[in-house]
Amino acid sequence: MSRQLLAMALAPLLGLFILGIGNGFLATLITLRLDAAGESPVVIGWVSSAYFIGLALGAMFNDRLLLRIGHIRAYGSFASLVAVTVLLQALIFDPWAWFALRLVGGWATVGVFLVIESWLLTSGDQKVRGRLLALYMISLYAAGVIGQLLLGVTDAMGETAPFMVIGMLASLSVLPMAMIPRVSPLIENAEPLSPMRLITLTPTGVMGSFGSGLAVAAVYTLLPLYLQRVGLSVAQVGQMMAVVILGAMLLQYPIGRWSDRHDRQIVLILIGAFCVLISAGMLLLPLTTWVLAALLFLLGGGVFALYPVAVSHAADRAPAGALVRMSQGLLLINAIGSTVSPPLISPAMAWVGDAGLFWAFGFLGLFLVAFFTWRRSVRPAPLPVAPFSPNTPMSPAGAELTVTEELVQGAIEHEHVEDLSSAVPEVEVAEPVVGPPPPDEPHIVFYHDDDDVVYGEQEKEALDGDSRR
């Protein structure tokens, strides 16, 4: 990566890192404070869902504001609003006031991510997007780990101190962006594919994205409640949440690279089964500190890998011209799952007890295993067409950031395998074929329409040899 490109990306990544430290433990802090005040899991779930409602709304509408006022002023506005909502939570303790503040805070937070992700997107072409995305992921996860570890330190400083620290970090994150002498233009974002078109194109990708939203939101909002109720201190809760995020950071990429070499539907089935096993371990094993830490580390790796593998599976089938719109549509599906997760799962904790969280995780994992197995029996997946890339975008611009040159090229090479005109009628795709293509076509066919024979690299080499002869 050139020095000029790194310099362009450094300021937004530094702003993301600073703001992410505070944002990393805010959800945990809110859950713990509401629980300490005697609020029920259902109330905690609704307050937590407000943040994700704001994220979904911001992902749909914030780009219009960014187009009008530009990157730097938009970032300053959004970050200031994040700081104000957090500081107001320190002054006002009322669950429904917090609901409103969290909704506005989620809307402003996704605005910050929109600025950062669109800036990175326009900093380089598709050839360097993979490296920019890697830097983005490192900044995001590292900030999350540090933030969770700071939870106990700031809580010991006083009741309002954590909110003050988060507000200060949000304000401080404006400085790197404010000192940049130039502004990158916002790209024109495509309209996301509608849910019905996504279901036609990739039912497995849709269910994987939705299930990931359910699970990840529950981890951020309800897992701290469980940890506090089993007897952990605020500092220990922060440490365990840091272990979860560390597991997501360290295991997501190996799992994704493994999915490059295997049927991604099988990988999704195994991730669902893995989450069932971890949930069973949380319910049945004696939870010493080290056992709890190990299980949560593995839980983070499995839960956070579900979304990027599901998106990668969807990209294996999408035409090249629909990759961006598909990624943005799956992002909104994921946001819907995150929004409904706390209100859906928190009643289980009120009814069954604290262990209801892992009963819910277990049933979710079983449902995903059954759904992915059924889909594989109905329509086997094509072989992976592009290298996996970690994926936690927060805005439509971030979804486009994940569409690398390798992904586009892979989509072009296999998009003639089946007719997708009903899913993306406005996108030009090659004519579908039955069986292997003629020798003079440099495409790869993965499944024969009659008998599901897999054509891999050896068959491709044979066809290439025929074409050369």
Residues 288 and 237 in one domain: yes
Residues 414 and 354 in one domain: yes
| 13 CA to centre of own chain | 17
| 217 CA to centre of own chain | 10
Q: Would 459 be classed as within a structural domain?
A: no
Residues 204 and 117 in one domain: no
| Two structure tokens written together for 414 | 């296999």
Give the pLDDT confidence score for residue 469 in this predicted structure.
Answer: 40
Give the pLDDT confidence score for residue 371 in this predicted structure.
Answer: 94
Which of 135, 154, 183 represents a domain boundary (last residue)? 183
Rounded-to-integer distance, Cα 314 and Cα 200, Å: 11
Instruction: Classify 79 as helix, strand or coil.
Output: helix
Burial of 380 (0-12, 13-18, 19+ CB in 10 A): middle
Q: Would 116 be classed as within a structural domain?
A: yes
| Two structure tokens written together for 14 | 């530094």
Give the pLDDT confidence score for residue 432 in this predicted structure.
Answer: 43
Q: Would 466 be classed as within a structural domain?
A: no
Residues 268 and 379 in one domain: yes
Residues 209 and 333 in one domain: yes
Q: Domain of 299?
A: 193-426
Residues 334 and 407 in one domain: yes
- For CA atoms 186, 124, 328, 443, the dihedral sign is positive
Give the pLDDT confidence score for residue 427 in this predicted structure.
Answer: 57
Q: Are 37 and 93 in contact (CB under 8 A)?
A: yes
Residues 157 and 251 in one domain: no
Longest distance between any two alpha carbons in the chain, whole Å: 78
The DSSP output letter for 424 is S
Which of 183, 207, 237 represents a domain boundary (last residue)? 183
Give the pLDDT confidence score for residue 332 in this predicted structure.
Answer: 87
Q: Would 355 be classed as within a structural domain?
A: yes
- For CA atoms 297, 298, 301, 302, the dihedral sign is negative
End-to-end CA distance of the chain: give it in Å, rounded.
41
Give the pLDDT confidence score for residue 397 in this predicted structure.
Answer: 61
Residues 151 and 217 in one domain: no
Number of domains, the chain:
2
| Two structure tokens written together for 394 | 């927060």
Residues 63 and 172 in one domain: yes
List per-block mean pLDDT (blocks of 10 residues) for the chain, which spans 469 residues. Answer: 66 90 92 93 93 88 76 87 95 93 93 83 66 80 92 90 94 85 57 79 90 93 94 94 93 81 86 94 92 95 89 77 78 90 91 91 95 86 64 63 68 58 56 43 39 41 42
The answer for residues whose C-beta is within 8 angstroms of residue 73's C-beta and 6 or more apart is none
Q: Count helices and strands (H / E) in the chain.
A: 18, 0
Torsion of CA 191, 193, 195, 198, to 10 degrees: -170
Rounded-to-integer distance, Cα 113 and Cα 56, Å: 12
Which of 116, 149, 183 represents a domain boundary (last residue)? 183
Give the pLDDT confidence score for residue 385 in this predicted structure.
Answer: 62
Rounded-to-integer distance, Cα 278 and Cα 225, Å: 18
Residues 241 and 169 in one domain: no
Q: Are 365 and 276 in contact (CB under 8 A)?
A: yes
Q: What is the CATH number of the domain that holds 358?
A: 1.20.1250.20
| Two structure tokens written together for 363 | 């049933």
Residues 51 and 177 in one domain: yes
Residues 342 and 233 in one domain: yes
Q: What is the pTM of this model?
A: 0.82
